[in-house]
Amino acid sequence: MFGFSMRTLISPSLVPFSLHHLPKPSLFSAALRFSSLTISISATNNNSPKHSPYSAISTRNAHTTASSSSSSLSLSPPGEIHVVVGPMFSGKTTTLLRRILAEKQTGKNIAVIKSNKDTRYCTESIVTHDGEKFPCWSLPDLSSFKERFGIEDYENRLDVIGIDEAQFFGDLYEFCREAADKEGKTVIVAGLDGDFMRRRFGSVLDLIPIADTVTKLTSRCEVCGKRASFTMRKTEERVTELIGGAEVYMPVCRSHYVCGQTARAVLDSSSSIKTHDVVVATSL
Ligand SMILES: Nc1ncnc2c1ncn2[C@@H]1O[C@H](COP(=O)(O)OP(=O)(O)O)[C@@H](O)[C@H]1O
Ligand SMILES: Cc1cn([C@H]2C[C@H](O)[C@@H](COP(=O)(O)O)O2)c(=O)[nH]c1=O
Ligand SMILES: [Zn+2]
């Protein structure tokens, strides 16, 4: 991507010290040796069926060759991690879909995965709240994806992986790190950063230190129309994971989130008084 190498960046004319002053062997000098490796990727695209989960697998021939005069270690092609978070109805799935389609248009081979916990709408597609759809792999975890997709196809032909409802995947961090760091994949992750109590949700936030970009989207507060950064649960259920749409959740601004939580606390305390009353009454 960049038109310069590590070696150019630290050429003696640009740094106030000489490389000879560095201890040898050092991690730094090892990194320099790696940076001298050259990677060439050749690829030809065939047409693949449009909008199928298998459209990710075109019969593209991709091979990566690494050559080095100083080392036999091969440098993995660089991958990327892009994280899109925000409350419900903020456009995370729409953004994921746009980015995935843009990658597809540049000839990249793509695959989209969503958690099979989300049974709203349709299990074989990601579907936005506006009804836009795209075929996907609906899986219980991410570690099973490579095998289901086909290891050979995964390794040699797949370029971009989209993950929706990322908060539901327990193995999100390991999968994304390996895919980007070791396998050269671009991973676009969409998910809730926080649950209805504004607690971190799953391991989405763990991706931030290893991400290239992080985008937090906002919606419109259903009460006042201002910018909404949080999701309010309209029902009294307390479990963290509760699949649902607008019948259970709404996007809210900070003021209305706090208002809602205060109302919830009042309801909770009055219901605990009632429960307590019952317990006292029965023990008399
Ligand atoms: N109750 C709602 N509040 C706000 N937006 C809504 C609501 N219901 C549907 N939408 C629509 O949902 C769209 C975002 O959908 P989507 O990309 O699926 O969001 P996310 O994945 O963040 O939940 C918005 O552009 C809006 O048109
Ligand atoms: C806030 C919150 C949400 N969920 C569930 C509800 C939906 O099924 C998904 C989020 O979908 P979206 O694409 O972001 O609209 O997550 C939950 O289980 N627990 C929560 O606290
Ligand atoms: Zn509001």
259 CB-near residues (< 8 Å, 6+ apart) = none
Record the tokens describing residue 158, joined without a space: 């797949």
> In which region does residue 48 sit, left (phi positive, over 0), alpha (psi from -120 to 50) or beta (all else)?
beta
Q: 153 CB less than 6 Å from ligand 2?
A: no
Range(s) within the chain of domains with CATH label 3.30.60.20: 218-284
Q: What is the ipTM of this complex?
A: 0.98
Pocket flag, ligand 1, residue 133 (CB < 6 Å):
no
Asked if 220 and 87 count as a contact pair (C-beta separation under 8 A), the reply is no
**CATH number, span 218-284:** 3.30.60.20
Q: Per residue in 235-272, pLDDT tens?
A: 999 999 999 999 999 999 999 999 998 887 887 777 65
Nearest ligand by distance to the CA of 118: 2
User: Given 1.10.10.10, 3.40.50.2020, 3.20.20.210, 3.40.50.300, which CATH number is that of 49-67+75-217?
Assistant: 3.40.50.300
Start and end residues for every CATH 3.40.50.300 domain found in the chain: 49-67+75-217
What is 142-192 written as a DSSP string? STTHHHHH-HHHHHHH--EEEEESGGG-TTHHHHHHIIIIIT--EEEEEE-
91 C-beta closer than 6 A to ligand 1: yes
pLDDT tens readout for residues 130-143: 888 999 999 999 99
Q: Is 247 a catalytic residue?
A: no
Whole-prediction pTM: 0.78
